[in-house]
Homo-oligomer: A and B are copies of this chain.
């Protein structure tokens, strides 16, 4: 029973998918049942690293979406438009869609999901988060018995590469970024990665699946690594921590109508070295899911790259092909695979969340400063785990404090008092801490 597949885009991921579909031997036997019918590219003259079925290459993506021989449409062109329009058109033609496009799903996921539910087709997105790591399907299909407490992840490979190099070599942010760009690990315009937007797209998707609701992408508090000082990476290491760009979605409770209250955010964060995510280095990604009763489970692997991402895309195609085999024409959708929304999710403001903090102060190098700072924290009800003075220069000192878990509003009040001390020159850095 052959199933026709159409491909929108033949960049590195598209070529990886085509390469798997046209070389099925040694893979799951269902791969041999997938026939690549149509491939839309911008420039048909460009030489490609993969040999396609004769006559399959077209330049008009509508020839892929509208081809009656194409039953599953794979969107790997990226960008918001025309990707969104083509996905919606495929859905309205009754075709299931596989996409690696996190930006489209994070921004238009609700519209796309509603259209798919209405038409009775699947939109699968394993490749949109974590590259080759199976995380979307396990969240949907393997953890439904749990009350999910928290999903946290290192889900941007570029920033993790930069942070790993800063930690290993003590190099500065700008220097490592330039190196990452030269190696192809960072884009010429790195904003989406280093400012945290890509990670925010991905945590919006993960949180939506974990909690069964739509996450307001625009409300996700997002802080990148672009203003991170190499000094803080070094001080964190001395205190037993590593700095990672962490995306977190945490269940804070339910509102009066049973909707979920969530804290969803992206921050450079200090992780204690024994934490399962602390050892995730280079361009690798990992997602930690904590729930009741499962405890902690972690999914780890290559967060990007043509091969891993193609593996995830083909997994989605196979899932659709598998369910096509058993579904009658009027069967409706498997609720696990379709991942329908089942509750309202609202994001809570930062002031109401509690966490540990790392704070670096630049102060005068005078006796008694640490005492005054400690008093400010104490007066605001912030208890301190450690307070350490590092060498400054020219009469200045650097004082690093790690607090215990404290309400953000209370912590901010303490910082205001500290900033007002005459001995304190600046709150030089402030980072969340697990």
A16 proximity list for chain B (CB < 8 A): 293
Given the complex of chains A and B, what is the CA–CA distance between A231 and B163 in angstroms?
37
Check if A350 is an interface residue, CB within 8 A of chain B: no
Assess the A297–B295 pair: CB atoms within 8 A: no
Residue pair B28, A145 in contact (C-beta under 8 Å): yes
A243 CB, min distance to chain B CBs, angstroms: 18
Most chain B Cβ neighbours within 10 Å, of A134, A145, A311, A342: A145
Judged by a CB distance under 8 angstroms, whether A331 is at the interface is: yes
Q: Which residues from chain B contact A292 at a C-beta distance below 8 Å?
A: 307
The listed residue (B142, B299, B301, B319) touching A294 by CB distance below 8 A is B301
**Contact string against B for A residues 140-163, beta-carbon threshold 8 Å, 1 for contact and 0 otherwise:** 011111110000000000000000
Chain B residues whose C-beta falls within 8 Å of the C-beta of A134 in the assembled complex: 134, 138, 141-143, 297
Q: Does A212 contact B (CB under 8 A)?
A: yes
Contact B145 A311 (CB under 8 A): yes
Verify B322–A294 contact, CB threshold 8 A: no
Contact flags A299-317 to B (C-beta < 8 A → 1, else 0): 1111001111011111101
A298 with B300, Cβ < 8 A, contacts A145-B27, A146-B27, A292-B307 known: yes
Give CA–CA (A133, B301) in the complex, Å.
Answer: 15
Q: Are B295 and A298 in contact (CB under 8 A)?
A: no
A317 to B296 Cα, complex, angstroms: 21
Binds B, one of A71-79, A332-340, A392-400: A332-340
A422 CB within 8 Å of chain B: no
Residues in chain B near residue A195, CB distance under 8 A:
none
Bound CA span A143–B188, Å: 32
- Smallest CB separation, A335 vs chain B (Å): 6
Chain B residues contacting A198 (CB-CB under 8 Å) are none
**Chain B proximity of A49: nearest CB distance (Å):** 13
Give the distance to chain B from A19, nearest Cβ to Cβ, in Å.
8
Interface SS of chain A = mixed
Tell yes or no: A291 within 8 A of B by CB. Answer: yes
A31 within 8 A of B: yes
**Which of B29, B314, B325 contacts A334 (CB under 8 A)?**
B325
B336, A307: Cβ atoms closer than 8 Å? no
Chain B residues within an 8 Å CB radius of A20: 145, 293
- In the complex, what distance in Å separates the CA atom of A312 from the CA atom of B147? 13
CB distance B334 to A331 under 8 Å?
no
- A295 & B144 in contact (Cβ 8 Å cutoff): no
Is A141 within 8 A of B26, CB to CB?
no
CA distance A137 to B306 in the complex (A): 23
Which of A144, A279, A312, A342 has the most B CB atoms < 10 Å from its CB? A144
**Chain A positions 374-409 with a Cβ under 8 Å from a chain B Cβ:** none
CB of A52 closer than 8 Å to a CB of B: no
Whether A335 contacts B325 by the Cβ 8 Å rule is yes
Which listed residue, B144, B317, B326, touches A315 by the CB 8 Å rule? B144
Q: Name the one of B29, B141, B325, B335 contacting A332, with C-beta atoms under 8 angstroms.
A: B325
Query: Does B334 lie within 8 Å of A322, measured CB to CB?
Result: yes
Give A292 to B138 CA distance when docked, in angstroms.
20
Chain B residue nearest to A17 in the complex (CB): B145
Asked if A323 is an interface residue, CB under 8 A from chain B, the answer is yes
Give every chain B residue within 8 A of A349 (Cβ-Cβ).
none
Residues in chain B near residue A26, CB distance under 8 A: 147, 254
Residues on B with C-beta less than 8 A from A334 are 322-323, 325-326
| A133–B300 alpha-carbon span in the complex (Å) | 12
Known: A142-B137, A143-B311, A322-B337. A297 touches B294 (CB 8 A): no
**A9 CB within 8 Å of chain B:** no
Contact B141–A137 (Cβ < 8 Å): yes
Contact digits for A110-147, partner B, Cβ 8 Å, 1 yes 0 no? 00000000000000001000001110011001111111
Given A142-B315, A145-B318, A293-B306, 6 more contacts at CB 8 Å?
A29-B212, A132-B294, A137-B142, A145-B311, A294-B312, A322-B335
